[in-house]
Amino acid sequence: MLKVVAIKQVRLGMFIQELKGAWIDHPFWKKAFKLEDPADLIKLQASVIKEVVIDSSKGLDIAELNEVVDSDIPLVVDIPVLALNTPIPSPKSKQISIAQEQAQAKKVINASKKAVASMFHDVRMGKAINAEAAMQMVDDIAASVDRNLGALISLVRLKNKDEYTYMHSVAVCALMMALAKELGMPEAETKKAGLAGLLHDLGKAAIPLEVLNKPGALTDEEFTLVKLHPERGHELLLQANITDEVTLDVCLHHHEKVNGTGYPNKLKAEEISIFAKMGAVCDVYDAITSNRPYKGGWEPGTRHFIAADGAVEWTF
């Protein structure tokens, strides 16, 4: 039976069927899980979520609380005063081998590619973005990254020229979360980084396909048109009521450069947020290691020295 329970009534042993609140506000990858780890209870109590839906057929019911006698399993976890402002470390998820994860990663990539292609098509047709579908993609990609980082990221590089735009969004989503985890960011920020990576190039849906997929060099007029995609994407996100500041920031500013020569606002180093800088790094990394309509991708292990005009001087 499903029941709505206030956070102060939540106890270990309950099965959380739904977290009542915005996806981006809670600190968990999954929407439904059995609450068994005291650290997860602390994170839940410290979040902005006020209520959850429990499934009493899969876990502890409110009516059963007085019947629990196992003193080794705490029902309530006291939160220190500083807990609300202090990142709570989460235990490492179980890692599996690349071979074990590759099959699941392929499914995640294929489903995500189709979903992103559908999202871009809907935008071109003037339809609203399905925010819930985007968030579910981030959940699935995050779970794969957690199980084995190398499996999904190695597979997502194997995109062909025709699917680059869609697969690039999936790749940057995964890279953003991997980078956030490497930087020690808490799960909530890691999740925001992933959503920002997934939607960072949404504005390209407003660019003609013949320009996006042009096999040769762009004309000045075409390049000016492409450079509008951060602002157009920002507008589309607002129209879809996606108001997360990280997602909006990365979408608008992932082409800024620390020397102030980027676009659209020519921001300089201290003016660019950490998330926008992360977006720029992940965006460029995936772009230069992927096969594009106009060039082959570089191998990730190859070192390239770039001249001031952007030409490759030598590689090894």
Residue 234: is its pLDDT beyond 70?
yes
What's residue 280's pLDDT?
Answer: 96
Q: Does one domain contain both 246 and 151?
A: yes
What's residue 73's pLDDT?
Answer: 44
Among left, alpha and beta (phi > 0; psi -120 to 50; other), residue 54 is beta
Q: Which domain holds residue 74?
A: 2-85
Position 132 in a domain: yes
Specify the residue for token string 């989460």. 90
Position 266 in a domain: yes
Position 192 in a domain: yes
Position 91 in a domain: no
Q: Does one domain contain both 14 and 56?
A: yes
Number of domains in the chain: 2
243 burial type by CB count under 10 A (0-12 exposed, 13-18 middle, 19+ buried)? exposed
Position 8 in a domain: yes
Residue 145: is its pLDDT beyond 90?
no
Q: Mean pLDDT, to the nearest integer, of 238-254?
A: 94
Position 227 in a domain: yes
The domain boundary residue, chosen from 53, 85, 117: 85
DSSP 142-184: HHHHHH-HHHHHHHHT---GGGHHHHHHHHHHHHHHHHHHHTT
What's residue 310's pLDDT?
Answer: 43
What's residue 314's pLDDT?
Answer: 37
Position 259 in a domain: yes
Q: Does one domain contain both 117 and 183?
A: yes
Q: Does one domain contain both 16 and 78?
A: yes
The domain boundary residue, chosen from 52, 85, 118: 85
What's residue 164's pLDDT?
Answer: 83
Q: Which residue has the higher pLDDT, 32 or 208?
A: 208
Average pLDDT, the chain: 81
Q: Does one domain contain both 122 and 16?
A: no
Position 90 in a domain: no
**Residues 79, 77: Cα–Cα separation, whole Å:** 6
Residue 129: is its pLDDT beyond 50?
yes
Q: Mean pLDDT, to the nearest integer, of 18-33?
A: 72
DSSP 262-293: -SSS--BGGGS-HHHHHHHHHHHHHHHTS-BT
Q: Does one domain contain both 116 and 67?
A: no
3-state helix, strand, coil in the chain (%, to 5): 55, 10, 40
Residue 312: is its pLDDT beyond 70?
no
Q: Does one domain contain both 165 and 208?
A: yes
Three-state secondary-structure class, residue 89: coil
The domain boundary residue, chosen from 58, 85, 112: 85
Q: Does one domain contain both 252 and 161?
A: yes
- pLDDT category at 1 given cuts 50, 70, 90 is confident
pLDDT digits (tens, 9 = 90+) for 57-112: 999 998 765 544 444 444 444 444 334 344 444 445 566 777 778 888 899 999 99
Q: Does one domain contain both 117 and 161?
A: yes
Q: Mean pLDDT, to the nearest integer, of 2-9?
A: 90
**Residues 289, 102: Cα–Cα separation, whole Å:** 20
What's residue 85's pLDDT?
Answer: 40
Q: Does one domain contain both 162 and 309?
A: yes
CA angle 162, 168, 172 (to 5 degrees): 175
Three-state secondary-structure class, residue 51: strand
CATH number at residue 230: 1.10.3210.10
Q: Does one domain contain both 61 and 118?
A: no
Q: Does one domain contain both 123 and 62?
A: no
- Segment holding 46, helix H or strand E: helix 38-46
Least confident of 20-34, 108-122, 254-268: 20-34
